[in-house]
Structure 1
Amino acid sequence: MPYALANDGAELFYKDWGEGSPVVLLHGWPLTGDTFDDAAIALAERGFRCIVPDRRGFGRSEQTWTGNDYDTYADDVAAILDEAGVDEPVALVGFSMGGGEVARFQTRFPGRTSAAVLISSIVPYMLQTDDNPNGVPQSVFDEMTAGMKKDREHFFTGFFKDFYGVGTLSSPVSDEVLMNSWRQTMLSGTKNMLDAAKAFATTDFRPDLDSFQSPTLVIHGTADKTVPIDATGRVVAAQVPGAQLIEYDGSAHGVFATDKQRLIEDLVGFLGTRVGQGSAIPLNAEA
């Protein structure tokens, strides 16, 4: 299993699947890179090289005491690319918290991005403030922190129901998807989990929007209760020149599971027309 060393010596796990134009798939909180397995397989089978890290503190990467901030997360992505020998521009795909890494990486490493995709992303700013009225109130994040500190195992059992839009009478995902999400979450370090939640809740990426110079795709569910679309996806689409917005009507946050096939088709279609030689094989063909 490949590991890279971060600038501070932390060991960072990543998957390296396929050959061709590089695509980096950045997972959300509180999960791991495994959430991108289906998309990574589809992309790798169609001529892309997929780099899929576990963020520091999550999954199989080292649980560090410090460095749980977006400048470090972006530097970690660069360290993984260096270890993997990728020196050409890469397509960055970020889900939820991973969208912040897409934004900050482009600011810190201009010219290294060939395309950007934000899926249910927290960019540009999650926190509700006077100049960001559609954001999430600080009290919501305070309640989340209190719940995790009291009993994080129990907290995430309920958290993932909103994450996937599970209702009283119906569910867009199986019980096993919920179980696997809980399992992935328990691999994370509590300190990393808490620090990462503070980072995605309070980091203001509005200045980073100027760094989006490559083709940009925004995908967001209109019923996302975890990351409201009016504070995030629609703002990016309005402020990044040329950005394409695809709204998944009625979809919740975890579209990689609730809308798996549609998401794969949208990723393959967008990246295949804008990045290198990928998508030489049609999506509905035998790979």
Structure 2
Amino acid sequence: MPYVTVATQANQPVDLYYEVQGTGKPVVLIHGWPLSGRAWEKQVPALVDAGFQVITYDRRGFGESSKPWEGYDYDTLAQDLKALMDALDLQDATIIGHSMGGGEVARYLGQYGSERVSKAVLSSAVPPYLFKADDNPDGGMQEEDVKKFLDGVSGDRIAFLNDFTKDFFTPKDGKLLVSKPLRLYNREIAAFASPKATYECVKSFSYTDFREDLKAFDVPTLVIHGDADAIVPIEVSGQRSHDMIADSQLHIVEGGPHGINVTHAKEFNRVLIDFLKA
């Protein structure tokens, strides 16, 4: 199994598990919370068939990667992404982040620039800034919302994840758009993540301000978001990111919940591949 060591903590290596499939221009897929690289199952074959090299990896604390006690802030997570891209010597890459993974895309470009990157994609992503603050009145998360997540994860985590995966694949005011076995599969992926990582990442995606990072975007960017996303509503995230990124295009998936790469995979893949080939 391929791993890359990205850091050392408590005298132990922090290793990221990754997979590389196909050949061609590289596409790096960064999964959302609280899943793993397996979340991109519907995208990998479509991208390989379209002539791209596809790199998936598990964020630290999730999937098959190391589960250190610390390092779940976005500066560290973006540093992990950089270490992976440097180790694989990726050039002319597209970096694609879903949900929490969109934060890594934003912070990577904000901190390290686009030397290795030619395009970016924000999919149901958390930028520009989820938390509703005095200087961010358009944010969607308030303190009680964050507390609900943290209490759920620190309490009966599996029950919380069971409900969360329902919301993940259910449009606002709609019905679950995937089968029960598929939903439970995603619950199991989330269940075996580090509880500490699952908890700490809630604070990271809730409280991190990416507005300055978005100003650094100097590559063509696709923002793709469902208009019925009940977890990260488009009006507080995708639409605002599109408005802030000069060279960006917005594709709205009608009736799309948070997990549009699964529930609307054909539309998602078509729009994504058209963007990559443009």
Question: Would you say same fold, with TM above 0.5?
Answer: yes
Report which stretch shifted further, 142-151 or 113-122.
Answer: 142-151
Equivalent of residue 125 in structure 1, options 125, 129, 135? 129
Deviating beyond 4 angstroms after TM superposition, the runs of 4 or more aligned structure 1 residues are 166-169
Q: One-letter code of the match for 1:75?
A: Q
CA deviation digits over 1:77-114, x for unaligned, max 9? 1111222232x131010000000000011122212211
Alignment partner, residue 277 of structure 1: none
Q: One-letter code of the match for 1:140?
A: D
Equivalent of residue 163 in structure 2, options 147, 151, 158? 158
Alignment partner, residue 101 of structure 1: 104
Q: Is the 8 A contact 2:31 2:101 kept in 1?
A: yes
Alignment partner, residue 250 of structure 2: 245
Alignment partner, residue 141 of structure 1: 146
Relative to structure 1, is the Cα distance of residues 177 and 99 closer, same or farther in structure 2, using a 3 angstrom cutoff?
Answer: same
Alignment partner, residue 92 of structure 2: 89
SS in 1 for 2:96: strand
Q: Is the 8 A contact 2:7 2:15 kept in 1?
A: no
Relative to structure 1, is the Cα distance of residues 214 and 167 closer, same or farther in structure 2, using a 3 angstrom cutoff?
Answer: closer
Alignment partner, residue 63 of structure 2: 59
Equivalent of residue 220 in structure 2, options 215, 220, 227? 215
Relative to structure 1, is the Cα distance of residues 169 and 217 closer, same or farther in structure 2, using a 3 angstrom cutoff?
Answer: closer
Is 1:5 equivalent to 2:8 in the alignment? no
In structure 1, C-alpha distance between the alignment counterparts of 2:102 and 2:153, rounded to whole Å = 23
Tell me by how many angstroms 1:212 deviates. Answer: 0.8
SS in 2 for 1:10: strand
CA deviation digits over 1:140-189, x for unaligned, max 9? 11011111111001111111111111689842111112111101001210
Alignment partner, residue 276 of structure 1: none
Alignment of 1:131-210 (within 5 A): 131-134=135-138, 135-165=140-170, 170-210=175-215
Tell me by how many angstroms 1:267 deviates. Answer: 0.9
Alignment partner, residue 27 of structure 1: 31
What is the aligned length? Answer: 272
In structure 2, C-alpha distance between the alignment counterparts of 1:167 and 1:250, rounded to whole Å = 8
Q: Is the 8 A contact 2:171 2:228 kept in 1?
A: no
Q: One-letter code of the match for 2:129?
A: Y
CA RMSD of aligned residues (A): 1.5
In structure 1, C-alpha distance between the alignment counterparts of 2:175 and 2:14, rounded to whole Å = 42
Q: One-letter code of the match for 1:249?
A: E
SS in 2 for 1:270: helix
Is 1:36 equivalent to 2:35 in the alignment? no
Q: One-letter code of the match for 1:2?
A: P
In structure 1, C-alpha distance between the alignment counterparts of 2:196 and 2:102, rounded to whole Å = 21
Alignment partner, residue 282 of structure 1: none
Structure 1: state its 5+ residue gaps: 274-287
Q: Is the 8 A contact 1:124 1:232 kept in 2?
A: yes
In structure 2, C-alpha distance between the alignment counterparts of 1:232 and 1:168, rounded to whole Å = 19
Q: Is the 8 A contact 2:4 2:17 kept in 1?
A: yes
SS in 2 for 1:107: helix
Q: One-letter code of the match for 2:213?
A: D
Equivalent of residue 49 in structure 1, options 46, 53, 58? 53
SS in 2 for 1:50: strand
- Name the TM-score, length of structure 2 as normaliser: 0.94
- Name the TM-score, length of structure 1 as normaliser: 0.91
SS in 1 for 2:43: helix
Give me the identity figure in percent.
38
